[in-house]
Amino acid sequence: MSNTPLNPLTSEPSPSADYRILGLVGQGQFAQVYCAIHRRTGQLVAIKQTRHTSESASQEAWILAELNHPNLVCCQSIAQTKTGYEFVLDYCEGGTLRVAIGERSQFSLAKVKSLITDILLGLGYLHSQSIIHGDLKPENILLTYLPLPSAADDQGPSRFPTAKIADFGSAYFVQYPKRSRREIGSPTYAAPERFDGQSSFASDLYSVGIMLYEMLLGDRPFSGSPEMLRAAHETQPVPLPASLTPAARQLLSVALSKEPDQRFASAAALISALQSLAGIHKATSDVTSVVISVPKAVVKLEFGGGAIAQVPDLITQLLPIRLGSRLGIAVITAKSYYLLSEAMQLSRVAQFTQNSWIAVDPQGRWLAAFAQHSAAECKAPDQGLLYRLSAASATTSQPIRLTSKLLSALQSEVIQILAINSRYLLRVRTTQALSKTVLECFTRRGEFVGQVSFNFPIADIAGTPEPYQLIARTATADSSFILISLKPFQIRHFPQYSRLQSIAALSWGYLLIRADQALVLDRSTNLIGVIEGLPADSAIASLTPDQLLIASPNGSQQRSQEISEQIPEQIPEQIPEQIPEQISEQPQNNDPSVKNTSTHGSSSLFVINLRPLDLDLIF
C-alpha cells in the first residue's frame, strides 16, 4: 500500500443502477449485502450498502480501494451515497465458512489445510500492506468455487472451495494508527492482547488458530459471555485432547499461545507448519475423509408387483404439481407428458414426435416443450411450444423462443429445461471441458431475464419444494451432491455424498441414489437412513409426506398395445400451423400401436409407504 492513501470515492451515480438485485445475502447493524447481476454482462457481484457514513465504513473504503489478492474479497467500485457508502465486491457463491462449519462437526485434514492456507495467503498479503484485519472469524471468510487449473484434473472443482477474507471495517493501519479502529472484534476469536486495545500481526494469526482448532476438532476452545471469553483467552490453557498427535498438539499450542511473540512469526510460517502435519489423532489413521455413518438400520425394499400403472416409455421425471385445491404428479418421458391424479388415475396430456425437453408449471397451468438436439449438433433448444393446460388436457398452444442476450459458455450442452415457478423457465447448460454450468432464466413466454454461472459441470438437476432452490448431481469423478439457491445465488456442496447415480427432492428432504442404495437426507441435509432395493434409474417423487411414487424401468420391453390401452388418452385438439423444430403433438389415431413412440423401454409406477420402514422422519 502506498504511503499516502488515495481517495477511493467516485462522484459517479450509484453503481447499483447497472445491476439487478437477486436477493439479500446478509445484514448487520450498519450494512446490508445483496447478490446482484450486471444487466449487460451477466457478472455476479455483491453490493454492500452502509446505512450511515460511519468511521468504519470510511475506513473500509480506503482499504478496499487498493487491495487486490485472490484470497481477499476485492472491490470493483465504490461510491459515496447520502446514507453512507456503496461497494461493488467480488461475489462468493459458496457462502461463509460459518455455514460450512455448521454443516459438519469436523473437516478432513486435507480440506482444513486447503481452506486455512487460503486464509493465510490472503492474510500474508494484508500484512505485507501493513494492515491488521482485526476481526477474523468464520463469518468473515467467504467461499467460492474457482475453475479447474486443468481439464485433466478429474477431481473437478468439487474438491475444495477457495476461501477469501472479507469485511475490513475493524482493520488497523500500522502506518496510520489514527485512522484505525479500536474495536475488539468477535471475542470468541480475539487474541488476549486485543482485550487491552493492543493489535499486531500475531493477533490475526491467533484468530486463525481458533478457526483451525474449530475445524480440526469440531468445537471452539472457549465459550461463554464476553467476560468469560476474555478470562479464558487471557488465563485458561487451551484444551487439547490426549488423542492428538505430538505434531498437532505443537501446532495448536504455538498458534494459540497467550504471548504474541511466542506464536508463529508470520502467516507463511503457519502455512509451513500446517502443510507438514501428517495426522491429527494418534488413536486413528487420521480423519482424512468424511465417513458417512448410518443412524438407522438399512431398509430393504421388495419389488414383486403391485404397480399402480404402466407407461410405454421410460419415465425421466416425476414432478408434484398443484391443480387448484388438488394435488397431482406430472409424469414426464422423452416424448410425452402424463398426469397422475390424486385418485391414481393416469392420463396422457400431450405427446410429441421427437425427444423433447418438457417443463411443467408447478401449478399445472402451462406446459413448455422444446426439441432436444444431440451434442454433435452443438445447438441449444430455443424454439418450442407453450401450452395452456386445462384439467388433464392441453387446450391451446403458441410458439415460444428462448433467445439469450448474453454470451453463454461455448460448446455447452443443454441438460435440462425446467419451470422454477409459474412465471419463469430455466435452461441449464453445462460443459465438462470448462467445468462450468450456466443457468439461463426466461419468462414463460421466452423473454430473457438473465443468467448465472458456476464452476461445476453437472449431470442432472431438478427443482425442490423450497422456492428458487435446485438440487444437482455433479458431472465430476466423485459425482456428488450440490444445493443451488437462486435468490440469492448460493451453492452448497456436499462432497461426502458421492458416487451418486441420480437425485430426488422430496417434501421432507432428499434421496441420493447410488448403484446399491439410496441415502435418505432430511431438509437440513442430515443423513437419517439408507434404503436398499430401489430400481436402477428410478424417478422418484413425494405423493404424501409418508408415501413415495417410484417410476421403475421395466426389465424387458412390454408389448405396446398392452401398455397403451391402459392409459386414457388426452390429445390436445389445437395444433399450430407451423411446428418449430419438429415438435408436434402425435396425431390422434385409434390404432393403439401408434401411441407408443418409445423405442427404449417402458416404466411401471409403484407407491411405497415409508411409515413401516422406521426411518427417522417426522411425518
Estimate to the nearest angstrom the gap between the alpha carbon of 223 and the chain centroid.
31
Higher confidence at residue 570 or residue 312?
312
The answer to whether residue 408 scores a pLDDT higher than 70 is no
The predicted pLDDT at position 64 comes to 75
Segments in 538-585 forming alpha helices (H): 560-564
Residues 321-370: tens digit of each pLDDT: 988 778 899 999 999 999 998 888 898 888 888 899 999 999 988 999 99
Q: 450 near 374, Cβ under 8 Å?
A: no
User: Which among 565, 166, 556, 173 has a CA at the least distance from the CA of 346?
Assistant: 565
User: Is 48 known as a binding-site position?
Assistant: yes
Residue 19 to residue 17: CA distance in whole angstroms: 6
The pLDDT of 555-573, averaged and rounded, is 38
Residues 254-296: tens digit of each pLDDT: 999 999 999 999 999 999 999 999 999 875 444 333 344 444 4
Which three three-digit cell numbers place residue 280? 491429527
Residues 48-57: tens digit of each pLDDT: 988 765 555 5
Residues 501-552: tens digit of each pLDDT: 999 999 889 999 988 788 989 888 888 888 887 776 788 998 888 888 998 8
Residue 245, burial from CB neighbour count under 10 angstroms (0-12, 13-18, 19+): middle
Residues 164-195: tens digit of each pLDDT: 999 888 888 887 665 555 677 899 999 999 99
Residue 510 to residue 201: CA distance in whole angstroms: 45
pLDDT band at 83 (very low <50, low <70, confident <90, very high): confident
Higher confidence at residue 425 or residue 323?
425
The predicted pLDDT at position 374 comes to 59
Q: 294 near 496, Cβ under 8 Å?
A: no
pLDDT band at 138 (very low <50, low <70, confident <90, very high): very high
Residue 152, burial from CB neighbour count under 10 angstroms (0-12, 13-18, 19+): exposed
Residue 240 to residue 435: CA distance in whole angstroms: 41
The answer to whether residue 475 scores a pLDDT higher than 60 is yes
The predicted pLDDT at position 576 comes to 33
- Show the domains of the chain with their CATH numbers: 15-90 (3.30.200.20), 97-275 (1.10.510.10), 299-613 (2.120.10.30)
SS3 252: helix
The answer to whether residue 92 scores a pLDDT higher than 90 is yes
The pLDDT of 449-461, averaged and rounded, is 88
First to last CA, the chain: 59
Higher confidence at residue 439 or residue 379?
439
SS (H, E, C) 74-86: CEEEEEECCCCEE
Query: pTM here?
Result: 0.80
The predicted pLDDT at position 22 comes to 85
User: Which among 91, 255, 115 has a CA at the least distance from the CA of 166?
Assistant: 91
The pLDDT of 50-76, averaged and rounded, is 76
- Which pairs from 271-279 meet CB under 8 Å and 24+ separation? 271/117, 271/120, 271/121, 271/124, 274/112, 274/113, 274/116, 274/117, 274/120, 274/212, 275/113, 275/117, 276/247, 277/109, 277/113, 277/247, 277/248, 277/251, 278/245, 278/247, 279/109, 279/245, 279/247, 279/248
Higher confidence at residue 599 or residue 603?
603
Residues 201-248: tens digit of each pLDDT: 999 999 999 999 999 999 999 999 999 999 999 999 999 999 999 999
The predicted pLDDT at position 11 comes to 40
- What is the rounded average pLDDT for all residues in the chain? 80
Residue 207 to residue 592: CA distance in whole angstroms: 72
DSSP 8-state symbol, 574 = -
